[in-house]
Structures are given as structure tokens and as C-alpha cells.
A and B are shown apart, each in its own frame.
Chain A
Amino acid sequence: MTAQIEMRDIQKHYGSFHALKGISLTIDKGSFVALVGPSGCGKSTLLRSIAGLETITSGTLQIAGKTMTGVPPRHRDIAMVFQSYALYPHMTVEENLTYSLRLHGVGKADARQKAAEVAATTGLTSLLGRYPRQLSGGQRQRVAMGRAIIRNPKAFLFDEPLSNLDASLRVQMRKEIRALHDRLGATSVYVTHDQIEAMTMADWVVVMRDGLIEQQGRPLDLYDKPVNRFVAGFIGSPAMNFLPGHIAETGNAVMLADGAGTLPLDRGLQPGREVIVGVRPEHLDVVGDAATFHLEIGVVESTGSATYLTSPDGNFQLVQSERTSLASGDRIGLRIDPTKIHLFDPQSGIAL
């Protein structure tokens, strides 16, 4: 694998606001990388810096081995799909698709030929003569995609491209974008605040917060081995539960605070140490006698395929794939596989 985009210690200041605090990231050629994090974490700024729409304050950015300092967007050979699609309202679909080709001096006939090909792959053939305002949200999304792929660029940049679509269309477009990526074999950088999109679409997920990379890795590695409490809470839905506790005298179990119970561990730690226990809602089993801790149920919600049980204070949730006759006020016994328990330092939040 060769690096297509290479970032080293990128800093970005907006006046007194420090948006990117030293980002170093290597994006391999042909990979699909998701930048994910809460709003304001700097993921969009980073993407726009790659595009050249923002000027980075310091650090180096290379695309295909060339340093991009001072290179305007038009000389970077990258394509971008915007959140609002940014289709030119005064141009037809065909003109939108071929605009970049025309700017790069491609002949009219060639451009039309290319547009027809792209329209066929994105299902836009019958819409080429229309204006953006005559299209539905999903169709606009496809035009935005088509406009990016027609150029065969060094990299695709996506800035939350699905956030304006309704839920079912979003799931469908997720698959289409990924299929397109696989077919074109292009490098893609995808910004989203939705960790499910990141997990399902990307080969490599970069979790950001406050202008810093918290963790990067393959999607399931982030799920299985989050390096800190922030990543653990951000990846996975419903979110991981966090319970305070301390290590028992034996060193291989956690005593939960308020005497809620004891969780056996598969590793040894210093006895008496304060910890935060992280357990994912889907890793808890409701058991009768073999329970290691107990919980009172506050709310029972069922979607048909799954049942969500929430504690009265709302801080603890678990998911059952079977239907249940449990009701609010019931007290249940729970058990968890010791290998699925995450432990975090209460102060730093770092995984232990």
C-alpha cells in the first residue's frame, strides 16, 4: 500500500480558536477512510484542508507524494461531495456533471460521452436535461456523486453527504457509495458524525475530538479495543454503559459502587484501584441464579426485533434480542463475559 494522502502535524488556527491541534494521518491509496467525531471536533476542517479550501497554519500535507502548501484546490486533483450537494442551480444535470471536464479543456463530444457513462452508472440517464431544482433529494445526491467520479480524481472527499436524506435512503446510499468505491478503487475520505456510517462504510476509521485524533484503526478494532472512554462511548449503538467501581482484594474482579454487584475479570489489576467499568448494552445477559450484579428496570422499549431495558435513572441500558415479559420496577440479575469488560482510568479515561 502506498500513501495517497500524507499529513504531518497539521495545525489550524481561526483567530484565537485552535481548530486542528497537530493532526498526523496517512491515508493509503485505494482505502476508504472515515473521519468521525462530534460536531466541532475539526473533522470538516481537516477535510477542507485536504481540498485546499482552508489554508493550514502549519504542518505538511502531501497528495500523491507532492507537497500541497500554496497549491489552490483546482491544482490538487481531488473531487468533493458537499453536504448540501452544491449543485449549480443554473446548470442542467449534464452541465453539472461535465463542468469540471470543460474547465480542464476536455472537448464537448468527449465530455458528453463521459457524462452519459457516468449517468448510466449512477442511474441518472433519464435526468440529464433537468435542473437541480427538479430533482428529488436522492437524485441530487447521485448527481453530486456523478460530478465527483466523472473526473477520475486522485481522491474523493465526502463532507457528510448523506445527512440531508431520510433514513431509508441513507441506508441505501451507504451501500451504493461503498460499492462505487470498490468498483473505482479510488481513495476516499469520508466525514460523518454518524458512527454507524463510519463503521459500516470505512476500511479505516479516525475518531476525532477537539482538533485531535483520539484513535484510528479498523472499525471492529475500535469497537473491540477502544483506547479511551471517549472512543468507547462514541463507537457502538446504543452507547456503552459506564459504571464506577474499584478492584477487589483478589485483584481479578471489580466491586461496583453502591454495592450493585461484582464483575469477575479475566486480567489482574492492583487491588483497591478506582476504575470506570464499561459494558456494552448488547453484551449483557439476563440470567436467574448465575447473576453477578442486579439492576432495577425503569423503562422497557421494544422495537419488535429487540428489547431495550433502561434503568430508572436512565444511565444504564441493555439490549435483548428475545422478547421479554419484564416490566418497569422488576429487578433482574445480569451477567457479562469477562473478556467483554472494558476498564478505564477515572481521571484520564485511558483504557486499562
Chain B
Amino acid sequence: MSRFFSGLRDGVGFDILLVGAALLFLLALAGAPLVYNVLMSFQQVDMFTLGALFRPFVGVDNYVAVVQQPEFWLVTRNTLVFVFGSMAGQFVLGFALALFFAQNFPGASTIRGLFLVSWVMPGLVVGGIWSFILAGDYGVLNVILKALGIIDANVFWKSDPNFSIWAVIIANIWLGLAFNMLLLSVGLAAISRDLYEAAELDGANAFQRFWTITMPMMRPTIGAVLSLGLIGTLQQFDLFPALTEGGPANTSNVAGYWSWQLSFQLYDFAKGATVSVMMFLLVLVASVVYVRSTRHEVRG
């Protein structure tokens, strides 16, 4: 016993205690639910069996039922549009801003830091603000776009089935843009000035320097940023209840929100679990890409 305590004070027991407490906590509240989720997706889970320890197994019935839901393919399509639309917007605008703020001028880093407020804002509040900005009749975005001559008539962003998903995408781009920019700025700052000067002496113009120095040197950063963007977008939830609630007629619904609706509005927990298992598979692909792209840094 005294050996046990001296191990805690001086030996590897201390490390095991520190790491073990956290991992047990995560195992109980993240690992176990994940496995439980998969189990539920093969069971019959409704209001009657919710509290039961043993529930009837139904094989792949839940999966069949989910795929046969009329909105399944629409939600799948929306999820992909939402993910890639958001990622593309966040990345392209974030990269452009990062390149701009990489120029040497007074206050560059402070102003860039201000952009990051979007990142600490509660998603629901951001959704609320954008809901007002995107309003069809009195929204300020329509007013600005009309003044610029880009549109002639008001766009009903939230209630027009053709635009509803884009309303959420616009808000999500705003939300994630700053974080993308910050990470890309870090990558840009890590490229040695000497390389640009050497390339300039070798006769490369600004455009050539971007493609032959910046892009190749940024490749690991870009990989990490894109995969983090994918993960962040798949995690996005709060904007949906604030903006469109998935509507109208599911035209802005995505897998994450649909899964929540099935469980907590229709109390069909089995289908909710089934959709979230499907979504988890998508996240798994993203995380493998992410872990691979950070593996280098992780092993340091």
C-alpha cells in the first residue's frame, strides 16, 4: 500500500491518475454514448421503451425506414450543399483576408484579432442577428443588394425554398470565416521572408511567388484548415433553430438538425440515433483526414 502511494507521489502512478481521470470521464460521457447510439440504431426506441434497459432489436429496420423517409435525399443533398458551400466560403474569404492582413501595416494584428469576436459569439445569437438581416421585406441585406444593383426584387432568403439553405450558409460563413483566417495567418507568418526575397531576385512576380512559394508552403496548413472547417460545419447546429428551423418543407434541413428533430420533436429516438450514426460516419471520414493532417505536428 505504501508503495502505491509513493508511486502516486514520485512515479508513473501520478501520470496515470492525471490522464486516467480525464479519459474515464470522456469515455463515460463521449465514448460510451457513441457506442450506445449505434446500439440504439438497431433497436426499437420510442416513448414506451425509452426507460427500459432491454429493448427489442429490429435489425436494420431503422436504417430502411430512414432512407425511405421522403425527405431523406433532400436532407442528404442539403447537408452536402451546406458543408461544401460553407467550407468554400469560409476558406476562400478567410484566405483572402489572411493574405491581406499579412501585409505590413500599422494595426494589422489588432484589427485581425477583432474579427475573431464572431468566434466567441453564441451561435444562437448570431443566427438571430442574421435572421433579421436576411429578412425578406425589411432585411438590410436586400436593401444593400438593391442599392448596389445586384438584385431587383427582394429575396426571401429564409422562406424561399431556393434560398433557405443559403441563408444558413451565409450566417455560417460569417461565423467560421475569422477562425479560418487566423489559422491561415499563422501558416503565412511561418513562411520565411527570405524565400520571397530569393524568389524576387530570381525574377518571380507577385503572382508567380504566390503559386510557387505561398501555396506549396501552405499545403499542410490548408489541409488542417479545410478539415477543421469540415468538422466545424458538421458541428453547426445553433444557426438552424434561429434561422429557418430546417424549413420551409425541409429545404434547409441538414442531418444534424434532422436527427435532433426526430428525437426531440417527434420523440422517435431510434430514427434520431440512426441519422446521427450516419452522420457520424461522415464525421469519421473528416476526422481521419484531420488527424492525418495534424499527425506530423502531433508527433512533433
Given a CB threshold of 8 Å, the question of whether A touches B is answered with: yes
Binding site for B on A (CB under 8 A): 72, 74
Judged by DSSP, the binding face of B is helix
Nearest Cβ on chain A to B116's Cβ, whole angstroms? 29
B10 at the interface (CB under 8 A from A): yes
Provide the bound-state CA to CA distance between A74 and B6, in Å.
12
Nearest Cβ on chain B to A75's Cβ, whole angstroms? 9
Provide the bound-state CA to CA distance between A72 and B6, in Å.
9
Residue in chain A with minimal CB distance to B12: A55
Nearest Cβ on chain A to B5's Cβ, whole angstroms? 12
Residues of B near A72 (CB, < 8 A) are 6, 9-11
Binding site for A on B (CB under 8 A): 6, 9-11
Residue in chain B with minimal CB distance to A72: B10
Residue in chain A with minimal CB distance to B6: A72
Provide the bound-state CA to CA distance between A72 and B9, in Å.
10
A-B contact pairs, 5 of them (CB 8 A): A72-B6, A72-B9, A72-B10, A72-B11, A74-B10
Residue in chain A with minimal CB distance to B9: A72
Provide the bound-state CA to CA distance between A74 and B11, in Å.
12
Residues of A near B6 (CB, < 8 A) are 72
Provide the bound-state CA to CA distance between A72 and B11, in Å.
8
Residues of A near B11 (CB, < 8 A) are 72
Residues of A near B10 (CB, < 8 A) are 72, 74
The 5 closest A-B pairs by CB, nearest first: A72-B10, A72-B11, A74-B10, A72-B6, A72-B9
Residues of B near A74 (CB, < 8 A) are 10
Nearest Cβ on chain A to B221's Cβ, whole angstroms? 30
Nearest Cβ on chain B to A299's Cβ, whole angstroms? 32
Provide the bound-state CA to CA distance between A33 and B113, in Å.
55
Provide the bound-state CA to CA distance between A238 and B9, in Å.
49
Provide the bound-state CA to CA distance between A74 and B10, in Å.
9
Nearest Cβ on chain B to A56's Cβ, whole angstroms? 14
Of B6, B10, B11, the most chain A CB neighbours within 10 A belong to B10
Nearest Cβ on chain B to A55's Cβ, whole angstroms? 9
Provide the bound-state CA to CA distance between A8 and B6, in Å.
26
Provide the bound-state CA to CA distance between A66 and B6, in Å.
19
Nearest Cβ on chain A to B6's Cβ, whole angstroms? 8
Provide the bound-state CA to CA distance between A74 and B9, in Å.
11
Provide the bound-state CA to CA distance between A113 and B10, in Å.
31
Nearest Cβ on chain B to A103's Cβ, whole angstroms? 13
Provide the bound-state CA to CA distance between A81 and B11, in Å.
22
Residue in chain B with minimal CB distance to A55: B11
Nearest Cβ on chain B to A71's Cβ, whole angstroms? 9
Nearest Cβ on chain B to A137's Cβ, whole angstroms? 26
Nearest Cβ on chain B to A129's Cβ, whole angstroms? 33
Residue in chain A with minimal CB distance to B3: A70
Nearest Cβ on chain A to B152's Cβ, whole angstroms? 65
Nearest Cβ on chain A to B38's Cβ, whole angstroms? 35
Residues of A near B9 (CB, < 8 A) are 72
Provide the bound-state CA to CA distance between A323 and B6, in Å.
66
Provide the bound-state CA to CA distance between A72 and B10, in Å.
6
Nearest Cβ on chain A to B10's Cβ, whole angstroms? 4
Nearest Cβ on chain B to A77's Cβ, whole angstroms? 15
Nearest Cβ on chain B to A49's Cβ, whole angstroms? 15
Nearest Cβ on chain A to B98's Cβ, whole angstroms? 32
Nearest Cβ on chain B to A313's Cβ, whole angstroms? 35
Nearest Cβ on chain B to A51's Cβ, whole angstroms? 13
Nearest Cβ on chain B to A208's Cβ, whole angstroms? 28
